[in-house]
């Protein structure tokens, strides 16, 4: 194997690792609930709590995580912070996931490998 091939494989591995980290971050039920709530536009923590049923502390902790990862952005609005998706492609990613689940990935719900990742 040439050194050029090894460098390409290493770069590919880094991309795969970043993708895995992104999807691990999205694999949390609370974080996915927050992202889903933000699809319709910016919300305050209180509005996110109302939309998701999460406790305020739980929602705040997950918002901090999503913000630190660059998936949501908080913008001051008076005495509140309104959060929004950082990139419209997140909405598209969730729409594509819905399409996959309705089609080729409809067996995900019964997959034994993915048990215990959230509640429905």
pLDDT by residue (tens digit) across 23-72? Answer: 998 999 999 999 999 999 999 999 999 999 999 999 999 999 999 999 99
At 8, the pLDDT band (50, 70, 90 cuts) reads: low
- Token digits of residue 64: 């901090």
- At residue 5 the predicted structure's pLDDT band, cuts being 50, 70 and 90, is low
Bridge partners (DSSP) listed for residue 44? 82
CA 57 to chain centre: 18
Q: Do residues 45 and 56 make contact, with C-beta atoms less than 8 angstroms apart?
A: yes
Give me the chain's average pLDDT, please.
89
pLDDT for 77 equals 93
* Mean pLDDT across 72-87: 96
CATH class of the region 29-108 = mainly alpha
- What pLDDT shows up at residue 116? 60
Place of tokens 């933000």: 38
Of 8-12, 29-33, 68-72, 74-78, the least confident: 8-12
pLDDT at 83: 98
């Amino acid at each position: 194997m040439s050194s050029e091939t090894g460098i390409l494989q290493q770069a590919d591995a880094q991309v795969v690792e970043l993708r895995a980290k992104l999807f691990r971050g999205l694999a949390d039920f609370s974080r996915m609930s927050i992202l889903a709530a933000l699809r319709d536009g910016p919300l305050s923590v209180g509005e996110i709590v109302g939309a998701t049923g999460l406790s305020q502390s739980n929602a705040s902790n997950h918002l901090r995580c999503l913000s630190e990862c660059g998936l949501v952005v908080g913008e001051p609005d008076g005495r509140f912070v309104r959060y929004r998706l950082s990139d419209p492609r997140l909405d598209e990613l969730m729409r594509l996931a819905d399409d996959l689940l309705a089609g080729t990935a409809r067996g995900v719900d019964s997959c034994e490998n993915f048990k215990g990742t959230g509640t429905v």
